[in-house]
């Protein structure tokens, strides 16, 4: 990822490297702690390792979805309830937490 940032900065000479931030990336075999390089001004820099619409899901959110599922909520009822609470319920979240 640092190499990607170097390439980005070569193409965007008015931007600057701005350290790293820590993130946890959930992968098939567990959680991976990573340091993600960042730039000061560019909002277009995104390392290719990160999923395109990467959002971390809180453990509480996951537990809420599992509780609704175990209490017999259908996918559509879970979706409506979560949206009423102002939370997102993307296809990625559905596929990760709710068995097909």
Stated pTM of the model = 0.50
Chunked into runs of 10 residues, the chain (100 residues) has average pLDDT values of 92 92 77 87 80 63 82 85 77 56
Torsion of CA 6, 7, 8, 10, to 10 degrees: 90
CA distance 59 to 49: 23
CA–CA separation, 87 vs 94, rounded Å? 13
């Amino acid at each position: 990822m640092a190499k990607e940032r170097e390439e980005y900065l070569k193409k965007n000479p008015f931007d600057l490297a701005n350290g790293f931030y820590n993130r946890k990336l959930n992968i098939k075999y567990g959680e991976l702690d990573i340091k993600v390089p960042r730039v000061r001004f560019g909002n277009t820099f995104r390392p290719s390792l990160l999923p395109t619409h990467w959002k971390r899901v809180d453990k509480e959110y996951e537990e809420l979805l599992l509780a609704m599922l175990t209490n017999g909520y259908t996918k559509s009822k879970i979706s409506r309830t979560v949206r009423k609470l102002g939370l997102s319920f993307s296809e990625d979240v559905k596929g990760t937490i709710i068995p097909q």
